[in-house]
């Protein structure tokens, strides 16, 4: 489930109820479990790569070594997974 911010009410009196509803929606999204992980396709290397990162490279604008696909960072290098 993705979180999309609601439209902030114009009336200040409606802000408390709006904020409570937004916080509840955020809690649901952050605590929910999913059976998948979705990685956005990257066109450039992350600015601060760290060991343990997982990324999906486009293979054209940014090719970590084996073209388009899933990579993880190990020993300060990108390792192709699939």
For 47, other C-beta atoms within 10 Å of its C-beta total 5
Is residue 5 predicted with pLDDT exceeding 70? yes
Average pLDDT over residues 3-26: 94
How many residues are recorded in the chain?
Answer: 82
pTM of the predicted model as reported, rounded to 2 decimal places: 0.63
pLDDT digit string, tens, across residues 33-54: 778 888 999 999 999 999 999 9
Q: Domain locations in the chain?
A: 1-35, 41-80
Q: Please give the distance of CA 51 from its chain centroid, rounded to a whole number.
A: 17
Q: What percent of the chain has pLDDT over 90?
A: 80
For residues 6-10, give the mean pLDDT: 94
Query: 21: part of which helix (H) or strand (E)?
Result: helix 15-31
Which are the contacts of 5, defined by CB distance < 8 A and separation ≥ 6?
22
């Amino acid at each position: 489930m993705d979180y999309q911010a609601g439209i902030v009410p114009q009336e200040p009196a409606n802000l408390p109820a709006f904020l409570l509803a937004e916080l509840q929606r955020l809690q649901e999204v952050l605590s929910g479990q999913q059976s998948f992980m979705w990685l956005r396709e990257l066109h450039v290397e992350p600015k601060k790569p760290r060991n343990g990162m997982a990324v999906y490279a486009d293979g054209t604008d940014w090719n970590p070594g084996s073209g388009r696909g899933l990579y993880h960072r190990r020993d300060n290098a990108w390792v192709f997974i699939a």
